[in-house]
Amino acid sequence: MKEVFIVGGGPGGVKLAEELRSLGFESKIYLIEDRFLGGECTNVGCIPSKALFNFSKNFYKTQKIFNTDITLNPDNIFTNIRRVVNTIRKGIEDKLKKLEIDVIFDTAKFNNDKIIIFNKEYNYDVLALATGSYPINILDLVKSDIKDDSKILNNRTLWGDKLKDFLNDLAKGSRILIVGGGYIGLETASLFSIFKKSVFYIVELTDRILFNADKEISNELFKHLNKDNVNIFISSKLIEIKQNNGSYLVIFEKEGKLEQLEVDYIISAIGRKPNLPLELINKSDTNNIYFDNNLRLKGSKKLIFGLGDVTSFKMLAHKAEYQAKIVAKNIVDYFYKNKLSYEYTLNIESLIPGVVFTIPQAAFYGLTEDEAKNKLNNNVIVRKAYFSANPKAIADLDRIGFVKIIYNNLGEILGAHMIGNDVDLLVSVLLSYHSEVVVFPHPTLSEILNELI
Ligand SMILES: Cc1cc2nc3c(=O)[nH]c(=O)nc-3n(C[C@H](O)[C@H](O)[C@H](O)COP(=O)(O)OP(=O)(O)OC[C@H]3O[C@@H](n4cnc5c(N)ncnc54)[C@H](O)[C@@H]3O)c2cc1C
């Protein structure tokens, strides 16, 4: 039997190893990781932010139902976030050990048809790239004279070695600029803003937050987030960052006028780029789609697959895991039948849900109302229900939000968009109505069903 080299130990790479074993693949599987098992998601993404989500959600809830003030302890929050991350990482380590996956800690490089690990070249039968993505650096895009960039953070530094100091500074009172009103920027502002002595600003280039979401969701979320100590500037372009002794002076353009803010921290959430190994890709491919529907690297003579963030489009952990299942089946298919039968298409991509873990949460999948109306010449049915009329929401003292479902005139669901408490679970319930593909969002309790169904 042939050997498989998986590069990247994030959700995609780990799931691929697991799936191969569950399909009965018994040969050597090498998994090469250059930072931490669990990848961006477990260490500096989904998991630490959701550990903070737990604090923030309960902070507001407790305050509301007991009508009391709560004193936050930044060290306690820090310790808890770290404990959660370490527990999940350890679980991944144990799982890979049990599955007899050879984990190697190094940066894999590539040379022609070989993979280089610890400066030694190896032939491979199958290579799977689960190399993820990296945050775009704000300092590459704006004018700046910065001498001290120690408080210009991205998700890696924020959830990594700067977290403890950041939490302590928030507790004392700091001014934070978040660049980018996508889901990462919004979660950052919403969750950390429980530190009421601090003030948060979001500068977003487009004319609404969560630009790809349904407009009503963007507007409703804006209404709930843009208050208290969070100030959102839409249609605003960051132009320059100047050093201002211990702080930063940021200049942005809003509707043709220059505005400025003095802040202590800048958090960049302006987007991510696929971490493609440049040695392997065909640079003449200008549309940036490097993998075909079988998730095979286009133009490669050898069997090279991609999965997860490296394949672009929706960069989400549950998408990486779903693609891992396809790649695993294709690998086995290829070895036994010399063909690749399993595909990841744009139709499947449209059923991959997104969840924004802000307070309140938002969740969605499929076409937005505008997209559906454009596509079907307004021939759509939009149904909407509000939590303010739902007995459980009323009992929970949480009446905010609504669920909106868009149908074609055959009664088929084209898209669903919701905002409110616990909509991460509600979107999972609705997804179960689709028989073709059901991908539960990560991290949610619904994922436990993946092991059972
Ligand atoms: C702040 C934040 C919050 C997020 N929250 C969520 C969320 O709630 N839900 C969700 O679904 N998604 C979330 N995401 C997105 C999620 O983290 C990614 O979609 C997911 O991690 C992608 O998995 P992956 O396996 O493709 O890559 P990654 O998790 O990025 O893992 C890739 C790994 O490969 C390693 N690597 C790269 N190149 C090499 C090499 N040459 N040799 C060896 N190792 C290499 C990297 O070090 C990395 O560990 C969040 C992201 C961020 C930044």
Q: What is the pLDDT of residues 230-267, one digit of tens each?
A: 999 999 999 999 999 889 999 999 999 999 999 999 99
202 and 107 within one domain: no
The predicted model gives 84-94 an average pLDDT of: 98
Task: Encode pLDDT of 29-82 as tens digits.
Answer: 999 999 999 999 999 999 999 999 999 999 999 999 999 989 999 999 999 999
Q: How far is the CA of 261 from the centre of ligand 1 (A)?
A: 32
117 and 15 within one domain: yes
CATH of the domain at 388: 3.30.390.30
User: How many other β-carbons are positioned within 10 Å of the β-carbon of residue 3?
Assistant: 14
355 and 335 within one domain: no
255 and 160 within one domain: yes
In a domain, 278, yes or no: yes
Residue whose Cα lies nearest atom 8 of ligand 1: it is 46
199 and 88 within one domain: no
| Residue 1's pLDDT band (cuts 50, 70, 90) | low
Select from 303, 323, 344 the last residue of a domain: 344
- Counted domains in the chain: 3
Is a pLDDT exceeding 90 seen at residue 280? Answer: no
pLDDT at 283: 65
In a domain, 413, yes or no: yes
Asked whether 155 and 44 are in contact (CB, 8 A), the reply is yes
141 and 125 within one domain: no
Q: Which atom of ligand 1 is nearest to the CA of 9?
A: 33
Give CA separation, 435 vs 275, 314, 438, in Å.
33, 21, 7
Is a pLDDT exceeding 90 seen at residue 451? Answer: no
The predicted model gives 409-418 an average pLDDT of: 96
240 and 161 within one domain: yes
pLDDT at 284: 64
Select from 270, 301, 331 the last residue of a domain: 270
Residue whose Cα lies nearest atom 2 of ligand 1: it is 45
Residue whose Cα lies nearest atom 7 of ligand 1: it is 46
Is a pLDDT exceeding 80 seen at residue 287? Answer: no
Instruction: Map the chain to HEC letters.
Output: CCCEEEECCCHHHHHHHHHHHHCCCCCCEEEEECCCCCHHHHHHCHHHHHHHHHHHHHHHHHHHHHCCCCCCCHHHHHHHHHHHHHHHHHHHHHHHHHCCCEEEECCCEEECCEEEECCEEEECCEEEECCCEEECCHHHCCEECCCCCCCEECHHHHCCCCHHHHHHHHHHCCEEEEECCCHHHHHHHHHHCCCCCCEEEEECCCCCCCCCCCHHHHHHHHHHHCCCCEEEECCEEEEEEEEECCEEEEEEEECCEEEEEEECEEEECCCEEECCCCCCCCCCCCCCCCECCCCEECCCCCEEEECHHHHCCCCCHHHHHHHHHHHHHHHHHHHHHCCCCCCCCHHHHHCCCEEECCCCEEEEEECCHHHHHHHCCCCEEEEEEEHHHCHHHHHCCCCCCEEEEEEECCCCEEEEEEEECCHHHHHHHHHCCCCCCCCCCCCCHHHHHHHCC
Q: Which atom of ligand 1 is nearest to the CA of 308?
A: 26
In a domain, 205, yes or no: yes
Copy the structure tokens of residue 234. Answer: 């839409």
Select from 255, 270, 285 the last residue of a domain: 270
60 and 129 within one domain: yes
Residue 215's domain spans which residues?
137-270
Q: How far is the CA of 430 from the centre of ligand 1 (A)?
A: 26
Task: Encode pLDDT of 336-383 as tens digits.
Answer: 888 999 999 999 999 999 999 999 999 999 999 999 999 999 999 999
Work out the percent of the chain whose per-residue pLDDT is above 90.
Answer: 90
- Tell me the best of 7, 44, 46 to mutate to test the pocket of ligand 1, counting ligand atoms within 8 Å of each CB and taking the most: 46
**Distance (Å, whole) CA 51 – CA 81:** 5
Is a pLDDT exceeding 60 seen at residue 286? Answer: no
Task: Encode pLDDT of 2-24 as tens digits.
Answer: 899 999 999 999 999 999 999 99
Q: What is the pTM of this model?
A: 0.96
308 and 282 within one domain: yes
In a domain, 231, yes or no: yes
217 and 151 within one domain: yes
112 and 51 within one domain: yes
Is a pLDDT exceeding 90 seen at residue 285? Answer: no
In a domain, 453, yes or no: no
Copy the structure tokens of residue 99. Answer: 């599955």
Q: How far is the CA of 309 from the centre of ligand 1 (A)?
A: 7
CATH of the domain at 327: 3.50.50.60
Average pLDDT, whole number, for the chain?
Answer: 95
In a domain, 450, yes or no: no
Pocket of ligand 1 (CB under 6 A): 7-13, 32-35, 39-41, 45-46, 49-50, 107-108, 130-133, 155, 184, 275, 308-310, 315-318, 320, 357, 442
Work out the percent of the chain whose per-residue pLDDT is above 70.
Answer: 98
In a domain, 256, yes or no: yes
* Pairing mode of beta strands 354-356, 380-386: unpaired
* Pairing mode of beta strands 354-356, 361-366: antiparallel
Asked whether 170 and 75 are in contact (CB, 8 A), the reply is no
In a domain, 452, yes or no: no
Asked whether 369 and 382 are in contact (CB, 8 A), the reply is yes
The predicted model gives 170-182 an average pLDDT of: 98
pLDDT at 301: 87
405 and 304 within one domain: no
